[in-house]
Structure 1
């Protein structure tokens, strides 16, 4: 396994098509196909299935995506050691929602601490409404939140990451075996509804147009509770890839299934007050995320 193979695999997984990945990488389609085939041979598993929408990662493929992204970020971090550092000493107040703080920010806070050792980032967990109010009253300098939940015209937002939502089912569930689930079939199952970060309200966006109502067995603000309940066969749910893990705390397997109707993604990004003149310290924080997610690079060799 080498970084080139992971780079080609990750581009295909994120763009959904070999042709688009090849175009983005400025290489031949056969090079991408060969890299993926070699990875599958080495790992002895199938990483993609072909669908009407393109290349769909299998559960094993999604696990590898997480690992490949981590490798990409760490290699990029290694390449920038000694670059972009500053001696600026300042404190900034940053707010983040529950999901962002739990599943997105920790790695980046570590990178920021190494890159800007004198930048004191004060993090506060808040819900979206309080974040928006804090930005408008200047109690918060900048926020990292779910931009897919934000539509305040007084705020500027920049989306960094779009995380696809899929159906979660226990291993060997009947919907896993058919490969693609319809919302009619999902509505027949007991449903575990996550409520944190407006997840229950967001679900209306994709359940509403179907005319169907999920058979909610339990509502909870705990992602780990949802994970365990699904893994133990107590119901199914629809959540994003960002919070997906293939195992519950008890060690039971969770699989994901695509749906017959496209589900809106969960988008993560930064937000600040419109017209705000950012301080140098806030600008460093903002630019770090823009550079990281809008110009990602995975080198082909160390």
Structure 2
């Protein structure tokens, strides 16, 4: 059976959201269609891409490697479809603000693609914290922002989520919790916990921890994702972070594994923001449509 773009798109959505049901909602199709497409894809490849559990699905090692190939294939197809736009007459300057995590782990690839699609458009990037981004959008200093929309509650800002990155438990390669079929917050609370603080990660974490009877046993608070990665890989502690910042190896070359918790953990939403009363310029509209097209968000009016 030949591999299809439909299978790749459904696979990517499921990998990013961690649940077949959420992928179906995200793609505005039935869950059975997603299930069938992924089963067909696995049959074509002759290997399992996901580990299924009651709480959702987790990528196998093969699945993680295939995800990178799927991104490359879909991006190449997207570029091919947009070849007529490479000589775009869209001109001007667009000021985009971005938070640290977004700029470090998400945005650069898409800025490169936007520069290729709209060579006459100058994109100015500004790295700021959320408060400064919100203030800059409202004052008109920045046209748009790419940030963690799950942290934004300002009613004066229009928000359009782009991806929802699943949060999982990070553990070292030989951690005892890897042998458990089900891992809960109660068990994580018994482990030394490394708390990331950048981009309000600690506040976000405590919101979902406070919905449980337990609290994390925090041994270190750090703004460095690489410090968290090294501490976890070295067996000094565990962490709960999103798939967007996950990498399987620490700087020392030690392996990091992930576990999907039984207890609910909210996904980290990344997306666009702009002043609600600001009319979208052609450049803003182009950026918005690029992200909608790339991440298969259902198209809405307005």
TM-score category of the 2 structures, normalised to the smaller one:
0.7 to 0.9
2:53 equivalent in structure 1: 51
Superposed, 1:138-177 pairs within 5 Å as 138-177=140-179
- Tell me which of 27, 36, 45 is aligned to 1:39: 45
- Tell me which of 85, 96, 99 is aligned to 1:97: 99
For residues 102 and 124 of structure 1, the distance between their equivalents in structure 2, rounded to whole angstroms, comes to 12
1:219 equivalent in structure 2: 221
Deviation by residue 1:174-220 (Cα, 9 ceiling, x = unmatched): 11121431111101111111110000000012110112111111111
TM-score computed with the length of structure 2 as normaliser: 0.87
1:127 equivalent in structure 2: 129
Superposed, 1:223-234 pairs within 5 Å as 223-234=225-236
For residues 40 and 58 of structure 1, the distance between their equivalents in structure 2, rounded to whole angstroms, comes to 13
Say if 1:3 and 1:122 are closer, same or farther in 2 by CA, change over 3 A. Answer: farther
Check conservation: 1:40, 1:47, Cα contact below 8 A: no
2:251 partner SS? coil
Check conservation: 1:9, 1:36, Cα contact below 8 A: no
Structure 1 gaps, min length 5: 297-302
2:73 partner SS? helix
The alpha-carbon deviation at position 149 of structure 1 amounts to 0.2
Structure 2 gaps, min length 5: none
Deviation by residue 1:257-300 (Cα, 9 ceiling, x = unmatched): 0112110010000000111112222222222222322359xxxx
Check conservation: 1:179, 1:258, Cα contact below 8 A: no
- Tell me which of 20, 29, 32 is aligned to 1:17: 20
For residues 10 and 160 of structure 2, the distance between their equivalents in structure 1, rounded to whole angstroms, comes to 26
The CA RMSD over aligned residues, in Å, is 2.7
1:209 equivalent in structure 2: 211
For residues 168 and 31 of structure 1, the distance between their equivalents in structure 2, rounded to whole angstroms, comes to 29
Deviation by residue 1:159-186 (Cα, 9 ceiling, x = unmatched): 0100000000000211112143111110
1:299 equivalent in structure 2: none
For residues 175 and 26 of structure 1, the distance between their equivalents in structure 2, rounded to whole angstroms, comes to 32
1:113 equivalent in structure 2: 115
Check conservation: 2:97, 2:125, Cα contact below 8 A: yes
For residues 103 and 2 of structure 1, the distance between their equivalents in structure 2, rounded to whole angstroms, comes to 32
Say if 1:12 and 1:28 are closer, same or farther in 2 by CA, change over 3 A. Answer: closer
For residues 94 and 269 of structure 1, the distance between their equivalents in structure 2, rounded to whole angstroms, comes to 12
1:153 partner SS? coil
Deviation by residue 1:202-257 (Cα, 9 ceiling, x = unmatched): 00121101121111111111111111111111100000000001111111110000
Deviation by residue 1:90-121 (Cα, 9 ceiling, x = unmatched): 11111000011011111110111111001000
How many residue pairs are counted as aligned between the two chains? 292
For residues 112 and 210 of structure 1, the distance between their equivalents in structure 2, rounded to whole angstroms, comes to 42
For residues 28 and 156 of structure 1, the distance between their equivalents in structure 2, rounded to whole angstroms, comes to 30
